[in-house]
Amino acid sequence: MKRINLLNSLLTTMITVTVLSSCKKNQESATGDTPHISRENVRAEVYHYHQSGNTIQAYYRGNLVNLLEIENGMYLLGGDVVLKREDIRMPGDPRSESTTNGVAWPDKTIYYRYDNNATNNLKNNVWPAATRMWANAGLGLRFVYDQRAVQPRYIQLSENHDGSAYSTSVGAPGGSMNISIDLDAFSAGNLAHEIGHALGLEHEQNRHDRDLFVLVNTAGLSPEWASQYNIKANATPVGPMDFGSIMLYPSEDGVLTKLDGGRWAANRANPSPTDILGINYKYNITTYTSDGAYELTTQLTNRKALQADSQHDMVLADTIRGTSAQKWRVRHQNNGFYKLTAWRDSTKCLAKSNAGIILQAYNGTDNQLWAIVPSYIDNYFRLVSKTDNKICIGLDTTGVGIARPHITTKEFRVDTAQQWQFRKIQ
């Protein structure tokens, strides 16, 4: 298991769509609301659309999310990601490659080209400053100018003059994607935010556990702007809410604040340590936890370890004894999901059932697969079910005082009962 001594947070990717109707002309400002600007004069990235229609649902990258219907048959995701019809899949449509391909850039190499309208300021100053923020983050990312226009996958950099900063993909595209910025309104830090989308990061305020950390009130916003704060339920958060994330929108009184009503200093200076952790996890998801034998101990009480009772197909926590019953084979299966097999009985693996957590003969179904995701505490992890990314394994806190408390599944909480340390034995 890799040890990353950072508070963690990550993003996620998803989308949704239903029946569409014709677009209506927007009679307010381009977004219907005043763009969000923080006390530090950091402006929230936004695409200024000219027409808007319904808020709909569709699949993007295999996940269901909310989209706003805008001009020219396009859709707006999260305020600053513009998608085409071929990028998404409507519920009921046949699956298509364009809705699922591309997340990580191959070999961590991001190719780019300049649009004909790109100025020398963008080419020589703003873009180099934005890419340095990510290139200097220690992630091994490379930004390479596709001068001969031969790369099949690349970013097309352009400028606009309507106060927009946006991108057209979350993660690597199947072909080309566009990043566009108005240099009179936005800085290199805003461009670095859009690069974050291109790398695969989502907005921090959209994570499904955000209500554990922030207050969101969209009552006074137009439906179009309010959609930027929709929770993306299918995305798995990594670490706690990161108030220093370059992907987090500026705090705004009465709209987006901490639980106590406090605000945070908006960051567009550099990717935060947790932004870096998120990319590191995403781009190494199949090897982030190495295969091997592990002992799993709870953060709630580090004197107890996850234990298999193969005779009764039960899983519980018991005092650490170093026995084979407290030893687990951890092996990656696919796309960042792992199988945890009881060392004492290699035919039985950890599984989610209606009754809770049990041992079950392995058959390859999703209820037997788990993502091992950095949690809210350094060097501790969540075991998140593939069947429901809002559910993770935890200690039954009602039984903390007894000798052998049960293991259960619950939605994410800010407590230590759901956070596990993986100690590799062999």
Tell me the catalytic residues. 194
CB atoms within 10 A of CB 354: 6
Q: Please answer whether residues 90 and 178 qualify as being in contact, where contact means their C-beta atoms are separated by less than 8 angstroms.
A: no
**∠238-109-141 over CA atoms, to 5°?**
50
Q: How far is CA 419 from CA 136, 238, 243, 300, in A?
A: 31, 12, 21, 8
- Residue 203 assigned to a binding site: yes
- Residue 406 assigned to a binding site: no
Token duo for residue 232:
């993306």
Cα–Cα distance for residue pair 356/101, rounded to 1 Å: 34
**Closest C-alpha to 282, from 50, 86, 25, 104:** 104
The secondary element (H helix, E strand) that includes residue 308 is: strand 304-309
- Residue 48 assigned to a binding site: no
Amino acid identity of 221? Answer: L
- Return the DSSP state at 174: S
Cα–Cα distance for residue pair 138/416, rounded to 1 Å: 30
Q: Answer positive or negative: Cα dihedral of 402, 408, 413, 415.
A: positive
Residue ranges of the binding site for Zn(2+): 193, 197, 203
